Structure 1
């Protein structure tokens, strides 16, 4: 009865302002995508014809090969590690179960700089080989880190946690009865994995794979540094080199097709699939006890990605930053301040708007509000380059209209108010990271019973007071989590920041990229290490949450 009354209250006209706000926010956040689509249709074909005849085939092939390589890599690491840490029992399993998430704190472009400094011709590894053997350049073979294969490896090392997280959650949710039945049918542990556990976890695995491949398409720093021509590098090269927004938008439109294909793949993987566990027992209660030899191999297999994807890069960065890099001066302090206050502003804006959207769908679950919330969350599936191009075009147009208006009515001169300021960056960050914040807020709101709203309304509170006095205090954990995640994602964001930052404005991510591009890898270490250490915070919180759930599952 209370829920029925709650639904009726949600349809009262006095709450229409919230519905209108949700629709307006969604329309504004959808602007970059609309700009890209319009420019695709109205652009002339000269530059596009040149791109088609010269580099388009390379962009497509490299992007596809990169996706295939990273996809194979993240599956090969993420799924077995998830199975071993969730379904098997061996010494060190508890530590490995959360430590496997640590590479998530390492941006791909930073691990690329680190391993380049270690493995390239002038690095310590090849130098040691030449000193030991007396060989000279060309007399021995060594893996070329600056290559398509190198980019695949670097991205795999930092993106496999997406597959690991999703797969592990799926394995933990599988019924112990399923595995017991497999034993009665004569299945070995390996057969049970491939014929039962893996098919049951397929939708979750594909979801993690889709997220990893989206991040692969969105990467700019790694492929640019390794000179691998993909759509992200091509979009920025066309935008800056040719100065042709339409041609850059046309490339972005093709990249959007790739993203749409990934989203459709993820949706199709869950098409008409319904798996129901028979009983409440989870597989984590009846883990497979590994023999000593197998336990050692399981520990080595799970520890290797942690070592290569996190520990070695962090130790190298720390060594460079402490013993070899120039001492950070006032410039470094300024970079850190720019990064931190920009990330703080972005996280507060994004989470504030997410609260409005989440509360709107809670009070008015109509099709228009649902659609608006869905549109507002599309940005996370788009690379930063697309959002940057789609942001700068309408804001530059708006700036010119303001300048013309002021000229018409006065002699005062005004500069760029939107496209040349932090406003453009904050808008792009909002579009890019709204989905992350919205998911955390909606998850928190879903845990609050509708009766709490009714209690507040019966005391004469307006919807605004119910949100501020009841929901926000109860949502403290979800809101803080959303703020933290958006803060760290903003701190690491590179392509959008490169395009939209104001003149003479730098961040830690941009400075690390500039120094690495100038081959000053050691001097880039302090900025890179700072980004990694800040990125550890949400990973540690996520790890603690997983560890807590694992202890309760025992």
Structure 2
């Protein structure tokens, strides 16, 4: 069993290995391509990617940490609401946010037109949102919840007793936050920022729609516009190295959070003691927490509804409702198949990791665990890199083995898309299943074996019923991620199988923003599902923390 799973995990690592292998065959032609890129487009890709990453990093740290400190440490009106409402922007993909704000804030948009007509102003009232600064703001609005979630969890689990000790020693509020709370949660801040930056570098929708020259958009131009596989592979490998460095920083921060996140220092109530501020300051915190929720979710969703209403009232018969139903069904099918396959794979891998090793022939040994580690890295790999890593070996096999028809299999059917989704999202399912297995004591397995239960009976009769919640959570997360995925779907989708994400992107690219509102709203509605799940999880853990029973030790990163 483990040998088969090892082969499958290594097969899923093939796209990444293919991109990296492009440097192994580095010849004079490849060197000439690299030199040409260095003289023309590469400096622009590096500059804009670094500028975008730096702006997003600064923004998510400021907004995420400020909102986490406010909710975790202070009492103010609406605090219970903002504990989960600050997660709502997670449901809003960056490219959907871009469509809404472009239509609302552009020079010919209704807002600027109305203001110019009302006050007699001339010219543009603010800079064009389709720019680098606009992309930075949009990414900050939809990605700050990563930092907020991890920082808030770390504050709740690690900072209660040190902050109380600092207060008794006479430290002021500002000093307690600056010198005690923030150093304690620094690993959580680093981990959340790394996750936000990985999402930023992997994005294609916002960069392409705003006309930015980033590594992801460069990969598409090299592959589709210039038909240069070597240049695309070189750019993809550079992007992969950058993401790998971010992933290493995130993993190191997560390992440090396991120490900082233990609950030995919590108060008896299981949470921080909320500080009550004067009236004006309390309402300032309410406004500060409401602003990112309004800008990152409420106003864009409302504007998408307005765009859809304008389109429906202006041309009710012109709305492609029948085609929309076809796109929605296609998206649902793909997401459901990807979720089922990724969850089944995660259950099998989790069970294989659970089994005791009885020697090299039985356990698959280090190679199996290496394959699992590679599988866990898949979520950090950008969709553009995954798609390119699939297309390159497929093109090579088709050129050297024309009768195989492998190109038709991976580009003319759903096989290529499903393979890409498994590469990217199996790690999400595996994380959920492994979290479920940590709650099952190994004595249960030993008792089952003593009673004569074989492996199949152990899995189907004991583990699977107890893992049902973790399995459904894994399937839900993969389903939602698949519905929102854009870069790999653009490259690998077969003819006639457009998804809601692809349709929304194509309509927005053609400046048909009102028509793009319908698929965009559907994606947002689906994206709310994991937010609801996270909100319920936070509420349940707060209830467990208030209970008199000894709470289970859990790292802050478990909230993701």
- Same fold per TM (> 0.5)? yes
Structure 1 unmatched ranges of 5 or more: 1-17, 407-413
Structure 1 residues 339-395: Cα deviation after superposition (integer angstroms, max 9, x where no partner): 000000001011111111111111146433322211111111111000000012223
Q: Are residues 1:284 and 2:283 paired? A: no
- CA 1:69–1:270 in 2, change beyond 3 Å: closer, same or farther? same
Q: Which residue of 1 aligns with 2:549?
A: none
Aligned counterpart, 1:166:
150
Cα distance between partner residues in 2 of 1:467 and 1:292: 57
C-alpha distance in 2 between matches for 1:241 and 1:380: 27
In the alignment, which of 44, 51, 56 is matched to residue 70 of structure 1? 56
Shift of 1:403: 4.3
Cα distance in 1, alignment partners of residues 343 and 399 from structure 2? 30
Correspondence for 1:254 = 238
Native 8 Å contact 1:22 1:357 kept in 2:
yes
Q: What residue number does 1:49 align with?
A: 35
Distance 1:73 1:415 in 2: 43
**CA RMSD for the aligned pairs?**
2.0
Q: Distance in 1 between matches of 2:125 and 2:308?
A: 30
Residues 443/268 of structure 1: CA separation in 2 closer, same or farther (3 Å cut): closer
Contact 1:147 1:226 in 2 (8 A): yes
Residue 308, structure 1, aligned to residue 295, structure 2: yes
Distance 1:401 1:482 in 2: 39
Give the aligned length. 528
Query: Contact conserved, 1:47 with 1:244, CA < 8 A, in 2?
Result: no
Alignment of 1:15-54 (within 5 A): 18-42=1-25, 44-45=29-30, 46-54=32-40
Q: Which shifted more, 105-114 or 501-510?
A: 501-510
When structure 1 is superposed on structure 2, of 339-348 and 280-289 the one drifting more is 280-289
What are the residue-to-residue correspondences of 1:208-227 with 2, within 5 Å? 208-227=192-211
Q: For 1:280 and 1:192, locate their aligned partners in 2 and report how far apart those are by CA, in whole Å.
A: 16
Structure 1, residues 455-489: CA drift from partner, whole Å, max 9, x if none?
33234332122112211111110000000000000
Distance between the aligned counterparts of 1:402 and 1:322, measured in 2?
53
TM-score (norm 2): 0.90
Does structure 2 retain, via aligned residues, the 8 Å contact 1:19–1:364?
no
| CA offsets 1:194-232 (integer angstroms, 9 cap, x no match) | 101100001111111100000000010001101111000
What is the CA deviation profile of residues 111-137 of structure 1, one whole-angstrom value per residue up to 9, with x for unaligned ones? 001000000011122112210222233
Residue of structure 2 equivalent to 1:451? 443
2:477 aligns to what? 485
Post-superposition shift, 1:401? 6.2
**Aligned equivalent of 1:431, options 420, 423, 436:** 423
Q: Is the 8 A contact 2:94 2:142 kept in 1?
A: yes
Which residue, 502, 505, 517 being the options, matches 2:497? 505
Deviation at 1:287, TM superposition (A): 1.5
| Distance change (3 Å), C-alpha of 1:527 and 1:35 | same
Query: Is the counterpart of residue 136 in structure 1 residue 122 in structure 2?
Result: yes
Q: How does 1:126-525 map to 2 (within 5 A)?
A: 126-137=112-123, 141-269=125-253, 274-275=259-260, 279-281=265-267, 284-325=271-312, 326-364=318-356, 366-399=365-398, 403-404=402-403, 416-525=408-517
Q: CA deviation at 1:290?
A: 2.0
Measured after TM superposition, the shift of residue 397 of structure 1 is 3.9
Q: Is the 8 A contact 2:158 2:266 kept in 1?
A: no
1:167-186: CA deviations, max 9, x gaps?
01000002432112111332
Tell me by how many angstroms 1:400 deviates.
5.6
Q: CA deviation at 1:285?
A: 4.6
* Residues 174 and 283 in structure 1, CA contact (< 8 A), matched pair in contact too: no
Structure 1 length normalisation: TM-score?
A: 0.91
Q: Retained in 2: the 8 A contact 1:82–1:168?
A: yes
Q: Does structure 2 retain, via aligned residues, the 8 Å contact 1:441–1:479?
A: yes
- Taking the aligned partners of 1:278 and 1:460, their CA distance within structure 2 comes to 40
Distance 1:269 1:483, change over 3 A: closer
Worse-matched range after superposition: 39-48 or 68-77: 39-48
Q: Residue in 2 aligned with 1:103? A: 89
